[in-house]
């Protein structure tokens, strides 16, 4: 975190808020579902296994954080990734976890 040492208190709060938004598995699942393409809320509800109210609440939080965008077409609301750089962060975290898990597996293999 070399770059963050020069961040102001306000900037640090914004960074912490972004990480907090990403700290919920359902929100990560929704981002993963939106990776391929824009989708309507009802498709996200079905694919995620969540309830309409729960998925909508998580999508609102993702939108407030600037991670997804929404547009209305008739009665349907569509969501899409607004900040594709989020996938770089996810790749870094997943890659790190894979390396960590591989080390644990080697310990049990003898």
**Confidence category of residue 4, pLDDT binned at 50, 70, 90:** very low
39-97 pLDDT per residue, tens: 999 999 999 999 999 999 999 999 999 999 999 999 999 999 999 888 888 788 888 88
| Rg, the chain, Cα only | 17
Prediction pTM value: 0.80
Give mean pLDDT, residues 5-25: 89
| Residue in 63, 93, 94, 54 with CA at minimum distance from that of residue 81 | 63
**Is CATH 1.10.10.10 the right assignment for the domain spanning 7-82?**
yes
């Amino acid at each position: 975190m070399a770059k963050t040492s020069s961040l102001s208190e306000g900037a640090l709060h914004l960074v912490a808020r972004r990480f907090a938004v990403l700290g919920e598995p359902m929100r990560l699942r929704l981002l993963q579902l939106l990776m391929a393409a824009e989708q309507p809320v009802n498709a996200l509800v079905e694919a995620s296994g969540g309830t309409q109210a729960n998925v909508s609440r998580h999508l609102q939080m993702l939108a407030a954080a600037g991670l997804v965008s929404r547009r209305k077409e008739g009665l349907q609301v569509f969501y899409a990734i607004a900040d594709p750089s989020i996938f770089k962060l996810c790749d870094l975290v997943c890659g790190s976890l894979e390396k960590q898990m591989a080390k644990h597996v080697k310990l049990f293999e003898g």
